[in-house]
Copies of this chain bind each other. A is one copy, B any other.
């Protein structure tokens, strides 16, 4: 493994354009790359030399020399750099190191409290990253970028959390600057749900252009992939479903008052409040899921109704965006079919038939590392450019 001497990252767009033709993992000859790109041989040669010097491209085994120029196959080297990917939730965090193809090399998860503020949580992430780096035995210089997910709105262009409701002390905190005191590298920050959507798309639904990811946990938010692109909106605030009003199914109307919003009635803490009684004080999604798994009928019905309330909002989202797939993730989704059944019941009844005819509503399959894989996917897109299928 070699550190990146050159080229600098993010890649110059002209280098990215050449590398693009190798990122599907298929080795190709210079002649094939000239045909695919339409670039002049001389231009192509200069760019390939820069990519080879930086370790991103190598002559594959079996390459032979002909007239002083390599005649063999060239291939993309995902091991040329490693990425630090961090996914911080309200009560749980994961840190991973990945290669430049987004494959997880090592990861570690722990409980945390996001409300402790940025420094203790980011310090934990940095210390964990250092442990993982030693475990995979790579020099610090091999790390080429840092991607971080946070459980609240983030202005993606600056990496600053913006009025995050459950994150006291984080509003406007300069996360990239803090990370750069340790790693002087590109640092990208995004809402955790956006990263979950990217991770689910990268690992399970790569062929789908329109995917709608909903995280149901301490908060409720969506990550929207439309037309093949993650949609962040003008200020990076897209997907902010928590305070959306729930339109009137008979049941939710009866429960809703003028101030009730989706998060108040269907999040983990919202359900926990409604299930609390003397001697039983659930406080989190996990507590609610545990009650349901223990067979508590009231908890099971509450989760199903939360699914219906979420479904009432999602039926508007389906009419609006016509996704192919809705993926339900987050800790309350660990209740499995109960939550999904409520969502499906309302979405399939209420949305327009054209939009639901081929709609799949399913649970998250990317698993616990979906968020860090999403963070790596975001970084790779930034560092190496978008992949266009040759």
Chain A residues proximal to chain B, CB less than 8 Å: 14, 17, 38-41, 43, 153, 162-163, 209-210, 222, 224, 226-227, 229, 231-241, 243-248, 250, 253, 256, 258, 312-313, 315-317, 319-324, 350, 352-355, 357-359
B239 touches A320 (CB 8 A): yes
A316 touches B245 (CB 8 A): yes
Q: Which residues from chain B contact A358 at a C-beta distance below 8 Å?
A: 234-235
B38 touches A224 (CB 8 A): no
Q: Which residues from chain B contact A39 at a C-beta distance below 8 Å?
A: 38-40
B244 touches A253 (CB 8 A): no
A41 → B minimal CB distance (Å): 7
B234 touches A324 (CB 8 A): yes
- Given A234-B324, A243-B352, A246-B247, A14:B40 Cβ within 8 A: no
Residue of B nearest to A39 (CB): B38
Rounded to whole angstroms, the CA-CA distance of A357 and B155 in the bound complex is 13
Q: Which residues from chain B contact A238 at a C-beta distance below 8 Å?
A: 226, 320-322
Q: Which residues from chain B contact A245 at a C-beta distance below 8 Å?
A: 247-248, 312, 315-316, 350
A241 → B minimal CB distance (Å): 6
Residue of B nearest to A229 (CB): B227
Rounded to whole angstroms, the CA-CA distance of A196 and B43 in the bound complex is 43
9 smallest beta-carbon distances between A and B, as pairs:
A233-B322, A40-B40, A245-B247, A234-B324, A237-B322, A238-B322, A247-B247, A237-B354, A237-B355
Q: Which residues from chain B contact A352 at a C-beta distance below 8 Å?
A: 153, 237, 240, 243
Q: Which residues from chain B contact A231 at a C-beta distance below 8 Å?
A: 226-227, 231, 321
From the candidates B256, B320, B353, name the one contacting A320 in the complex (CB within 8 A).
Answer: B320
- Given A41-B40, A316-B245, A322-B240, A234:B253 Cβ within 8 A: no
A222 touches B253 (CB 8 A): no
A321 touches B43 (CB 8 A): no
A366 → B minimal CB distance (Å): 20
B353 touches A323 (CB 8 A): no
B233 touches A323 (CB 8 A): yes
Residue of B nearest to A47 (CB): B38
Rounded to whole angstroms, the CA-CA distance of A38 and B350 in the bound complex is 52
From the candidates B38, B224, B235, B316, name the one contacting A355 in the complex (CB within 8 A).
Answer: B235
Q: Which residues from chain B contact A226 at a C-beta distance below 8 Å?
A: 224, 226-227, 231, 233, 238
Rounded to whole angstroms, the CA-CA distance of A108 and B235 in the bound complex is 40
A317 touches B320 (CB 8 A): yes
B247 touches A258 (CB 8 A): no
Q: Which residues from chain B contact A41 at a C-beta distance below 8 Å?
A: 40
A70 → B minimal CB distance (Å): 20
A256 → B minimal CB distance (Å): 6
Q: Which residues from chain B contact A17 at a C-beta distance below 8 Å?
A: 38
B321 touches A235 (CB 8 A): no
Rounded to whole angstroms, the CA-CA distance of A243 and B245 in the bound complex is 16
Q: Which residues from chain B contact A256 at a C-beta distance below 8 Å?
A: 248
B250 touches A247 (CB 8 A): no
Rounded to whole angstroms, the CA-CA distance of A48 and B138 in the bound complex is 50
B247 touches A320 (CB 8 A): no
A sample of 19 cross-chain residue pairs with beta-carbon separation below 8 angstroms, ordered by A number, consists of A14-B38, A163-B353, A209-B234, A226-B226, A226-B233, A231-B321, A232-B322, A234-B324, A235-B354, A235-B355, A235-B357, A237-B322, A238-B320, A244-B247, A244-B320, A245-B312, A245-B316, A248-B248, A253-B253
Q: Which residues from chain B contact A246 at a C-beta distance below 8 Å?
A: 247-248
A365 → B minimal CB distance (Å): 19
Q: Which residues from chain B contact A237 at a C-beta distance below 8 Å?
A: 319, 322, 352, 354-355
Rounded to whole angstroms, the CA-CA distance of A139 and B350 in the bound complex is 50
